[in-house]
Structure 1
Amino acid sequence: MPNSRTGVLLPLPVSGPYDYLPPANEPGGLPARGTLVRVPFGRRYLEGVVWGEGAGDVDAAKLKPIRDVLEAPPLPGVLCDFIDWVAAYTLHPPGAVLKMALGAPGALAPPETTTVLRRSAAPQLPRMTEPRQRVLDTLAERERAGLGLLGAADLARAAGVSAGVVSGLVGAGVLEPVSSRREFAVPLPDGDSPGPVLSDGQRDAADALGISVSKREFEAFLLHGVTGSGKTEVYFDALGQAFKENRQGLVLLPEIALAARWPERFEKRFGVMPLTWHSRMTPAARRNVWRAVASGEARVVIGARSALFLPFPDLGLIVVDEEHDASYKQDEGVAYNARDMAVVRAKLGGATVVLASATPSLETMENATQGRYQYLHLPERHGAATLPRIDLIDLKRHGPERWYGPGGPSGEDDRGQVGFVSPPLVEETRTALAAGEQVLFYLNRRGYAPLTVCRACGDRIACPHCTAWLVEHRGPGSVPDRGGRRLLVCHHCGFSRPVPPTCPSCSAEGTLFPCGPGVERLAEEVAARFPEARVVLATSDTLRGPAEALELGRRMTAGEIDIVIGTQIMAKGHHFPLLTLVGVIDGDMGLSGGDPRAAERTYQLLHQVAGRAGRAGRPGRVFVQTLDPRAPVMQALRAGDPDTFMAVESRERQMTGMPPWGRLVALIVSAEDEGAAQAVARALGKAAPEAPGVRVLGPAPAPLSRIRNRSRFRLLLKAEKGVRVQAVVRSWLQKVKIPSSVRLQVDVDPVSFL
């Protein structure tokens, strides 16, 4: 007897589907897998997805029928398989993963109905005026072009006539109103559009990718090219091949600001703007893109990591640009790495996946070395541009000098302000500015100062909700003598407060002072040292989306900016033809803290930011300020020898059994009650698995032991490469009961160790 119940997965953190009866008003048996439905759940109704036949472990008399089958494209089977795979790998409930795939408000509702006009069967008017003929000609042209019908106002605008002309045609019976679904119109890119002339190396790489797309089989590639080598044009060729095959393409970018000029380059190549997907889109825009992807109309999407869960029915190519970037790892909610999951998504759907980077991660390089990924290399910059020369500035020999405001020293006791730009970098900057060139000062620290200290008692002002120091921020024009506002901000929970006039600890007045540099403090020094220069800040506080990043690029290209001071957001994806000098203010930042990937990340970041210099005809120069110029990462940068550096990193990781030669799983226990969190952490420690090739470290307070008023403890499972860590952790967690007041986050393949 066929199963008369169906399993429906809901976008909730639940372990699996719930059983429901088929909808009473839908003859024909059970809905197909992927069908979107609305079902009763408690006292409310929820949208869910048919996941297959019901489990049959609930009495049929207790089951409720599916209320509605939604008028929306079903989730493709490959996406359902992908959701199951991600859930099993990350050890998160499949319902929590499904929630990411349905993350477009209103996407499951039917399209809105609107009134449009079409040509009726009425005979020609006795007297046809020129404006009336333009309306009819416009309708005919749109029909030939395959474009949709328009409402009265839009039709009048398209024909260049008054609204009265259109209403007259309606009144005469020549045009008739009809109801139509308001669907999102998606222009199709021209896959045959020719791109720029490629170098021999680019052509070979592009041909390899194009052949792979045409085979319609899974293949993974590492596209390793130095900064400015033209990697984008190579994978543009592969996108063009996907369009010719009538398949879809997805390009993942780590920072939304990187998407600023990318759409323009795409439009120049393929004639239309691509669709985008990121967290800052309006609900209406997210709905339109989701449905356009699900229907197959959207040929290409560029987006952040969550775009990987869009319902592509026929995805032919996935590109993960800047594949090494840590932004691809989601730490909250479902902890997954979009780089690795992109490879899985491509494999399940028979697609080509390209991981592109100037500084590939050690994990990706090892996969290429072992033959799991095909290796494509672009060792030279495209055209006349050459790689910049990198020099190190030893801060122990060339320490920054103090600087003064416009009025200079005000007396013998005025020692000026603490400086952070060394004399050699000051002189190089003056030389570049005199030549009409642009300069980038790089400091990966937002705000004015990372720490505020009391001179009287030594107290450091901390966040009341997190184990973190408050960062002083002074926005544009916010220096106190200009009437601005000074704020202390927590970069973890968002708490803020004005800088107090007295020390919160000892109540001394005028004793609080900023310690250390942020980009805003650096901007003060730069403005004082180079008073004629036009200086801008480029951080996530000032570049909140593609529009702001696009405007920065326009101003840089037009020569309206002399010096840009930026954080990590400036390290990749930008092409400024006049930028020739890069100064890294603190090259040692990120090398401390116990992160096993610290040296690798530092090298990648500094190499990327160095790559902003000299991308056009003028040669570039890069100066890295450091307290330890003999450190391997600094020597590798200076020598331009990434292979030797990565080989050393590889040997060290292999000796310690760290990824990619070992497996890690982090368990983070948190609760508002510190005792409750500690008790669960200890219970997990006592129940830790004892198996060959497995070792558990902890529990111990997390480096950030309190975030948003929640105390945090960590455990780390370290295993040999061949161990199936998911099975080990699943068995481990079954031994410990987690109370509802305690949250347990499982992070397979962790990137952050805070």
Structure 2
Amino acid sequence: MTSGRASSPPDGPPAPPGSLFGAAPRVAVRLPVPVDAPYDYAVPPDWDPPPQPGALVRVPLGRRVEVGVVWGEGAADVPEHKLRPLLERLAVPPMPAALRALIDWCAAYTLAPAGQVLRMALSVPEALEPPRPRTGYAARVTDLSETALRATDARRKALAAAAAWPPAAPPPTAADLARRAGVGPAVVKGLAEGGALAPVPVVEEPAVPQPDPRHPGPTLSPDQAHAADALRDAARRGFSVTLLEGVTGSGKTEVYFEAMAETLAQGRQVLVLLPEIALTARWPERFQARFGAPPVPWHSDLPRAQRRDIWRAVAFGRAPVVVGARSALFLPFPDLGLIVVDEEHDGAYKQEDGVPYNARDMAVVRARAGGLPVVLASATPSLETVLNARAGRYAHVGLSRRHGGAEMPTLETVDLRAQAPEKWDRQGVPAQSFLAPPLLDAMAATLARREQTLLFLNRRGYAPLTLCRACGHRLQCPNCAAWLVEHRQRRELRCHHCDFRLPLPERCPACDAPDALAACGPGVERLAEEVAARFPAARLAVAASDTLTGPTAAAALVERIEQGAVDIVIGTQVMAKGHHFPLMTLVGVVDADLGLAGGDLRAAERTFQLLHQVAGRAGRAQRPGRVLLQTCDPDHPVMQALAADDAERFLALEAETRQALRMPPFGRLVALIVSGLDEQAVIAAGKALGRTAPQAEDVEVLGPAPAPLAVLRRQHRHRLLLKAARSVRVQPLVRAWLEAAAPLPPGVRVKVDVDPYGFL
């Protein structure tokens, strides 16, 4: 972590004394490099007017050239003759003040270098350059007799088409003009070479669909109309945060569409955040049905060229609605009028790599900086959001009934201790089963009614562990302290942390025993194998992040399910939320206890939210739904709350437990993760941090101790956890702590995670 004011950039020659600047002004330029402070640069005297805050400029940095953002006035603590000049002002709109405020706030809160945060806003460098010009052709003459060209029918047609081209439209390409005239492109190019057509460079930005806020939408129920009125009213005012809480299937999307329509009618931009790429599969179709045009997508799976075009469309105000992943929050909206965070409770909004920020919380910061409303939508809102709503800091709008008269599904627990799965016949050999008799009976009945089943297991691959029956050896990743997961369809073992892959061995790598490797535990592939054997006539589909490779694949599967082309879906959390399947009447959760292990602070809350969401896939239309939770602990508060459909009781118990332990949201947590290739150096650094830990009232430091995932990508990892009262400002404490422990051993880094979500 770098702190302090960097008044002039390092490693480069200053401007010659007195040669350019005299009393020229200076500006502070923030660069997308991992330092906290901006650098000062001199403004050349011919820059009139001088660049204003937010202007994007090209500057020298050492021996290279970087793109930066003017952040304000220079510090005036470096002699003018030592300043290096700005090189170029880029022809893009300035970075909006609200986005610059978000970058500063995010850096201060997360203790990440501000330049590293800025890099997220300048993630597509090629977007800072205008598109390459294409060649268009305009009529230079009106008659071929004015040239030396022979007048053929094809040439006359092409010249007439060029002359008749609408003056307001950009000149056509050779292909466009040839198509209009009904001739070949060679005819057009021949006319240009003969002087009848003039080649014209044309710079064009790709067209962006424009949604119509007046486009008729669906008829809302009285509950939905009341909620929509509240959100429309919020969209007409300044900053506010509204929790839109509604049971699964209540039509939350259609309700916040009305707030979006109000914002679009004002001529302002809208940002919708979704936690999973899979959720963007059908969301654009619903949006297009409501507004007559698709939204603009933004996520990491888009081709680089498309990301460039979208970044420019947003920056120039030509993209009215963007729907995307958390990184969309750092796009340069010049006139953002509304932010919607759908599934606001989802842990995918927390970025773990790079700058560890929570996009839900940063959306509120962005909205406050821009003076605009934000809507947090969820069927199972986070405890933090619920408490903010109850305290009056957030407005609350509720939808307590499913749309169209659909009823909530019935939910039952299956006690695996009393009703254990029975083995099934696998080619004459008894094989382990993972489906209890009550769930198998319910699946058979659902198939007989020609309805659909979703089997939910939040574990990818075939099996999470492979061991040798002969010697007990367990196949582990060579880079991480994690077992290799078998993916039988691809005949490989894979680490889900570093993506190390190994062909599925035929012999034990430890004792060389043949045919001794055994798969332990189920993944979705193994579950599909059992289902295919028990229900051979059923049409199956497996849905996981490694089988749905992007929004297109996800949309294709969703369409097949909606059309009734699939009988049984076996899926992970990508199928848990955001989907409406009218024929899906049974949901079976194969291992409801899976998320409760591991000692995670939010394990119970996450499990409740996930299982509540997946249960909501059942009975979305007029057919009644049923949910079966297979569990070894039916008396657990999560299972009891789900079975009783009593979210209030669960949240009250969760809040009481966290408050007693002074855990978030009733306390503060900051994790320090010490990592390096040298285990002894990591241990030494952890001990140094332990010795210099803050000694203050209402502050406790736990550790250092090996992280649960003690090796990740060959990096040894130790953790310390600072726990403090809610009233304590932890950032200054941690900053001073790191300075007191410096310098750390070479090759060791310390990652700071304020408000950690993951504890591995």
Q: Which bracket does the TM-score occupy, shorter chain normalised?
A: over 0.9
C-alpha spacing 1:24/1:122, structure 2 compared with 1 (3 Å): farther
Q: Provide the C-alpha distance between the structure 1 equivalents of 2:180 and 2:209, rounded to a whole number of angstroms.
A: 18
Partner of 1:273: 294
Partner of 2:283: 262
Q: Provide the C-alpha distance between the structure 1 equivalents of 2:604 and 2:568, rounded to a whole number of angstroms.
A: 28
Q: Provide the C-alpha distance between the structure 2 equivalents of 1:168 and 1:501, rounded to a whole number of angstroms.
A: 66
Aligned residues: 732
Q: Provide the C-alpha distance between the structure 2 equivalents of 1:469 and 1:682, rounded to a whole number of angstroms.
A: 29
* Aligned-pair CA distance for 1:264: 1.1
1:562 maps to amino acid: D
Give the secondary-structure state (helix, strand or coil) at the position aligned to 1:64: coil
1:753 maps to amino acid: F
Q: Provide the C-alpha distance between the structure 1 equivalents of 2:644 and 2:132, rounded to a whole number of angstroms.
A: 61
C-alpha spacing 1:272/1:148, structure 2 compared with 1 (3 Å): farther
Moved more, 15-24 or 313-322: 15-24
1:182 maps to amino acid: E
C-alpha spacing 1:616/1:16, structure 2 compared with 1 (3 Å): same
Partner of 2:631: 626
Partner of 1:607: 612
Q: 1:255–1:569: 8 Å Cα contact kept in structure 2?
A: yes
Partner of 2:575: 570
Q: Provide the C-alpha distance between the structure 1 equivalents of 2:126 and 2:647, rounded to a whole number of angstroms.
A: 48
Is 1:213 matched up with 2:224? Answer: no
Q: Where do residues 403-482 of structure 1 align in structure 2 (5 Å cutoff)?
A: 403-405=424-426, 407=427, 409=428, 414=429, 416-475=430-489
Partner of 1:237: 258
2:174 maps to amino acid: A
1:82 maps to amino acid: L
Q: Provide the C-alpha distance between the structure 2 equivalents of 1:158 and 1:240, rounded to a whole number of angstroms.
A: 38
2:702 alignment partner, one of 687, 693, 697: 697
Is 1:73 matched up with 2:79? Answer: no
Q: 2:587–2:618: 8 Å Cα contact kept in structure 1?
A: yes
2:279 maps to amino acid: L
Is 1:296 matched up with 2:301? Answer: no
Partner of 1:481: none
Moved more, 147-156 or 587-596: 147-156
Q: 1:73–1:291: 8 Å Cα contact kept in structure 2?
A: no
Q: 1:701–1:714: 8 Å Cα contact kept in structure 2?
A: yes
Give the secondary-structure state (helix, strand or coil) at the position aligned to 1:734: helix
* Aligned-pair CA distance for 1:368: 0.4
Q: Provide the C-alpha distance between the structure 2 equivalents of 1:138 and 1:647, rounded to a whole number of angstroms.
A: 72
C-alpha spacing 1:133/1:391, structure 2 compared with 1 (3 Å): farther
1:508 alignment partner, one of 513, 535, 538: 513
Q: 1:3–1:54: 8 Å Cα contact kept in structure 2?
A: no
Partner of 1:749: 755
Partner of 2:109: 89
* Aligned-pair CA distance for 1:457: 2.2
Is 1:351 matched up with 2:372? Answer: yes
Partner of 1:317: 338
Q: 2:591–2:630: 8 Å Cα contact kept in structure 1?
A: yes
Is 1:152 matched up with 2:158? Answer: no
Is 1:201 matched up with 2:207? Answer: no
Q: 2:317–2:334: 8 Å Cα contact kept in structure 1?
A: yes
Partner of 1:106: 126
Q: Provide the C-alpha distance between the structure 1 equivalents of 2:137 and 2:322, rounded to a whole number of angstroms.
A: 32
Q: Provide the C-alpha distance between the structure 2 equivalents of 1:599 and 1:345, rounded to a whole number of angstroms.
A: 30
C-alpha spacing 1:137/1:640, structure 2 compared with 1 (3 Å): farther
Q: 1:277–1:304: 8 Å Cα contact kept in structure 2?
A: yes
1:281 maps to amino acid: L
1:5 alignment partner, one of 1, 19, 26: 26
Q: Provide the C-alpha distance between the structure 2 equivalents of 1:54 and 1:488, rounded to a whole number of angstroms.
A: 55
C-alpha spacing 1:84/1:121, structure 2 compared with 1 (3 Å): farther
C-alpha spacing 1:317/1:131, structure 2 compared with 1 (3 Å): farther
**Any unmatched runs of 5+ in structure 1?**
476-484
Q: Provide the C-alpha distance between the structure 1 equivalents of 2:519 and 2:35, rounded to a whole number of angstroms.
A: 48
Partner of 1:488: 493
C-alpha spacing 1:593/1:112, structure 2 compared with 1 (3 Å): same
1:749 maps to amino acid: D
Q: Provide the C-alpha distance between the structure 1 equivalents of 2:144 and 2:213, rounded to a whole number of angstroms.
A: 41
Give the secondary-structure state (helix, strand or coil) at the position aligned to 2:355: coil
Partner of 1:26: 47
* Aligned-pair CA distance for 1:148: 5.0
Q: Structure 1 vs Structure 2: percent identity of aligned residues?
A: 58
Q: 1:3–1:53: 8 Å Cα contact kept in structure 2?
A: no
C-alpha spacing 1:166/1:608, structure 2 compared with 1 (3 Å): same
* Aligned-pair CA distance for 1:695: 0.9
C-alpha spacing 1:31/1:562, structure 2 compared with 1 (3 Å): same
Q: Provide the C-alpha distance between the structure 1 equivalents of 2:588 and 2:164, rounded to a whole number of angstroms.
A: 57
C-alpha spacing 1:621/1:173, structure 2 compared with 1 (3 Å): farther
C-alpha spacing 1:227/1:50, structure 2 compared with 1 (3 Å): same
Q: Provide the C-alpha distance between the structure 2 equivalents of 1:22 and 1:681, rounded to a whole number of angstroms.
A: 45
* Aligned-pair CA distance for 1:174: 9.0
C-alpha spacing 1:397/1:94, structure 2 compared with 1 (3 Å): same
1:233 maps to amino acid: E
Q: 2:138–2:163: 8 Å Cα contact kept in structure 1?
A: no
> Structure 1, residues 386-409: CA drift from partner, whole Å, max 9, x if none?
21111111111111111113x5x3
Q: Provide the C-alpha distance between the structure 2 equivalents of 1:101 and 1:595, rounded to a whole number of angstroms.
A: 31
C-alpha spacing 1:313/1:740, structure 2 compared with 1 (3 Å): farther
Q: 2:158–2:178: 8 Å Cα contact kept in structure 1?
A: no
* Aligned-pair CA distance for 1:170: 7.3
Q: Provide the C-alpha distance between the structure 1 equivalents of 2:522 and 2:330, rounded to a whole number of angstroms.
A: 39
C-alpha spacing 1:134/1:450, structure 2 compared with 1 (3 Å): farther
Q: Provide the C-alpha distance between the structure 1 equivalents of 2:544 and 2:710, rounded to a whole number of angstroms.
A: 27
Q: Where do residues 546-585 of structure 1 align in structure 2 (5 Å cutoff)?
A: 546-585=551-590
* Aligned-pair CA distance for 1:159: 7.8
Q: Provide the C-alpha distance between the structure 1 equivalents of 2:40 and 2:180, rounded to a whole number of angstroms.
A: 52
State TM-score, norm by structure 1: 0.93
Q: Provide the C-alpha distance between the structure 2 equivalents of 1:671 and 1:358, rounded to a whole number of angstroms.
A: 41
* Aligned-pair CA distance for 1:135: 5.0
Q: Provide the C-alpha distance between the structure 1 equivalents of 2:472 and 2:433, rounded to a whole number of angstroms.
A: 22
1:747 maps to amino acid: D
Q: 1:699–1:714: 8 Å Cα contact kept in structure 2?
A: yes
> Structure 1, residues 538-568: CA drift from partner, whole Å, max 9, x if none?
0011111110011001111121111111011
C-alpha spacing 1:113/1:591, structure 2 compared with 1 (3 Å): same
2:622 maps to amino acid: G
Q: Provide the C-alpha distance between the structure 2 equivalents of 1:119 and 1:696, rounded to a whole number of angstroms.
A: 77
2:243 maps to amino acid: L
2:236 maps to amino acid: S
Q: 1:221–1:355: 8 Å Cα contact kept in structure 2?
A: yes
Q: Provide the C-alpha distance between the structure 1 equivalents of 2:559 and 2:571, rounded to a whole number of angstroms.
A: 16
Q: Provide the C-alpha distance between the structure 1 equivalents of 2:176 and 2:721, rounded to a whole number of angstroms.
A: 61
Give the secondary-structure state (helix, strand or coil) at the position aligned to 1:335: coil
Partner of 1:50: 70
Q: Provide the C-alpha distance between the structure 1 equivalents of 2:299 and 2:745, rounded to a whole number of angstroms.
A: 35
Q: Provide the C-alpha distance between the structure 2 equivalents of 1:293 and 1:741, rounded to a whole number of angstroms.
A: 40
Q: Provide the C-alpha distance between the structure 2 equivalents of 1:525 and 1:339, rounded to a whole number of angstroms.
A: 39
Q: Provide the C-alpha distance between the structure 2 equivalents of 1:46 and 1:186, rounded to a whole number of angstroms.
A: 30
Moved more, 156-165 or 287-296: 156-165
Q: 2:170–2:202: 8 Å Cα contact kept in structure 1?
A: no
1:299 maps to amino acid: P
Q: Provide the C-alpha distance between the structure 1 equivalents of 2:224 and 2:413, rounded to a whole number of angstroms.
A: 32
1:541 alignment partner, one of 541, 546, 549: 546
**Any unmatched runs of 5+ in structure 2?**
1-21, 146-150
Moved more, 506-515 or 375-384: 506-515
* Aligned-pair CA distance for 1:173: 9.0
1:183 alignment partner, one of 200, 205, 223: 205
Q: Provide the C-alpha distance between the structure 1 equivalents of 2:693 and 2:246, rounded to a whole number of angstroms.
A: 44
1:193 maps to amino acid: H
Q: 1:474–1:487: 8 Å Cα contact kept in structure 2?
A: yes
Q: Provide the C-alpha distance between the structure 1 equivalents of 2:389 and 2:592, rounded to a whole number of angstroms.
A: 29
